[in-house]
Amino acid sequence: MDIRGRWILAKQMETRLPTHQLIPAVTFTCQRCGAFPVKGPCTCGKRCYYCRRCIAYGKLRTCDQLITDTRPLDPVHPAQHQPIRLTPAQTTVARTIEQTILRGGRLLVHAVCGAGKTPMFFPGIERALANGKRVLVTAPRADVVRELTHHIKQAFPTAHVVSLYGGSADRLLLGEITVSTTHQLIHYRSCFDVVLLDEVDAFPFHMNWTLHRYVKRAMTQKAALILLSATPSMWHRRYPTVRLMRRYHGYPLPVPRLKSPFTMQSIVEWLHQYEQQPRLVFVPRIAALEAWQTRLKEVGIDVTTVHAEDPDRIEKIQAFRTTNGILLTTTILERGVTISNVQVAVLDADQGFSTKALIQISGRVGRDAAYPDGDISFFANDRSDALFYAIHQIQKANRWTTS
């Protein structure tokens, strides 16, 4: 599969084909990520400017050159998605997405957590492939990308689907449907005719203009851009917007219960209350994981911990899906994870959690139509604006569905 827009160091190329375009790697800005370079000693014997921001992808210096493959991409083949059942509200959103894809416009899909955003863009992807358009589904976090890849491969079994994230076996490939983290888009230029950007408000994409630049440069000139979020910012709301404030199964969003102040005994009672269900317990930072694990072990409760730097996090999350255990985690699992019948608690909810994070964490509960209810409890020793605003926003979304 050809890749137009894959940048690599020219000195690593054994030959320079006429279909390759050569440019300086670092001029006033880095030609790979757009950052401003700094000056330092170089292997060429001079003091060259080099880019520190994208150094993880290989050091770029003034004496280097970048090369991009300008050959035409392979044609896109039509592919139909498997049968899906959409509610009338989902169907309306799906049609709007489809129309935006066809005309090459911009659209914000503001849908609550658990509304079923992923199936809603399947008809649009099918129409895009039928019209020879190459599709990108991108998200800021690798866990979300893996989840999306699973759903898209099931929905489009005949399409060539590529999944890109750190450590992916598909690195530097290009599919008819490409599912990628926003970081991996640094390697692509003018490749995608349709871009579906999920979790647009999530860290690290939110307010990271370098990642915004990666997405923009990966798009063709007339590409359609669809943003999807449960908690969009005012900046994103400047786009034409379609809203879905009801979950696909029709039940309201579980409203968090605020427990303030709390004691160790109240946490233990909560964990024992739901010992027949999987329990997901959030803490504000990695440093708190070991402390809480030790405190719970002292009262006879064993928990598994997981965080962004955990090398076994994929295996731990997969194992948690099939047990009634307790998973102690950071905000790495606030998005893109669906676990049936899960009960959720947030410890020290008044410390380090934003309103958006608390809304997303609450959205882990009640996503399964077989278990539309569930408990989401905020354990806090103080009261913060983020706590009350998160609860207010969830209640507001529930009122919207009944109005």
Estimate the crossing angle of helix 122-130 against helix 88-103, to 10 degrees.
30
Q: Do 302 and 349 share a structural domain?
A: yes
Strand 65-69 relative to strand 192-198: parallel, antiparallel, unpaired?
A: unpaired
- The predicted model gives 353-359 an average pLDDT of 93
- Distance separating alpha carbons of residues 143 and 139, to the nearest angstrom: 9
Place of tokens 């309306």: 92
Asked whether residue 396 is domain-assigned, the answer is no
Q: Do 237 and 96 share a structural domain?
A: yes
- Domain boundary residue among 198, 221, 244? 244
Please, which residues bridge with residue 194 across strands? 135, 224
Asked whether residue 399 is domain-assigned, the answer is no
- The predicted model gives 368-386 an average pLDDT of 92
Q: With pLDDT > 90 as the criterion, what percentage of the chain qualifies?
A: 61
Asked whether residue 403 is domain-assigned, the answer is no
Q: Do 182 and 146 share a structural domain?
A: yes
pLDDT digits (tens, 9 = 90+) for 16-29: 445 577 777 888 88
pLDDT above 80 (res 14): no
- Distance separating alpha carbons of residues 268 and 64, to the nearest angstrom: 59
- Residue 182's domain comprises 88-244
User: Which pLDDT belongs to residue 401?
Assistant: 54
Instruction: List the one residue out of 24, 41, 18 whose CA is nearest residue 9.
Output: 24
Give the CATH number for residue 337: 3.40.50.300
Q: Do 107 and 218 share a structural domain?
A: yes
- Distance separating alpha carbons of residues 98 and 96, to the nearest angstrom: 5
Q: Do 156 and 25 share a structural domain?
A: no
Q: Do 263 and 229 share a structural domain?
A: no
Instruction: List the one residue out of 313, 381, 323 whose CA is nearest residue 351.
Output: 381
Distances (CA, A) of 39 to 48, 57, 62, 351, 371: 6, 18, 9, 40, 58
- The predicted model gives 136-160 an average pLDDT of 94
Place of tokens 């786009």: 239
Place of tokens 């402390």: 291
Ramachandran region of residue 352, left (φ > 0), alpha (ψ -120 to 50) or beta? left
Q: Do 167 and 285 share a structural domain?
A: no
Domain count, the chain: 3
In one-letter notation, the amino acid at residue 170 is: D
- Distance separating alpha carbons of residues 247 and 254, to the nearest angstrom: 11
Q: Do 294 and 197 share a structural domain?
A: no
CA dihedral 291, 292, 296, 301 (to 10 degrees): -120
Q: Do 170 and 96 share a structural domain?
A: yes
**Lowest-pLDDT range of 10-24, 46-60, 74-88, 348-362:** 10-24
Confidence of residue 13 (pLDDT cuts 50, 70, 90): very low
pLDDT digits (tens, 9 = 90+) for 71-85: 788 899 999 999 999
Residue environment code for 345-380, b if the CB has 16+ CB neighbours within 10 A, otherwise e: bbbbbbeebbbbbbbbbbbbbbbeeebbebbbbbbb
pLDDT digits (tens, 9 = 90+) for 106-129: 999 999 998 999 999 999 999 999
Confidence of residue 304 (pLDDT cuts 50, 70, 90): very high
Asked whether residue 397 is domain-assigned, the answer is no
Q: Do 217 and 269 share a structural domain?
A: no
In one-letter notation, the amino acid at residue 75 is: P
Asked whether residue 75 is domain-assigned, the answer is no
Asked whether residue 395 is domain-assigned, the answer is no
Q: Do 176 and 224 share a structural domain?
A: yes
- Distance separating alpha carbons of residues 241 and 132, to the nearest angstrom: 26
Asked whether residue 252 is domain-assigned, the answer is no
Asked whether residue 236 is domain-assigned, the answer is yes
Q: Do 197 and 94 share a structural domain?
A: yes
User: Which pLDDT belongs to residue 8?
Assistant: 44
- Domain boundary residue among 194, 211, 244? 244
Q: Judge residue 160's burial from the number of C-beta atoms within 10 Å of its C-beta, 0-12 exposed, 13-18 middle, 19 or more buried.
A: middle
- The predicted model gives 191-213 an average pLDDT of 89
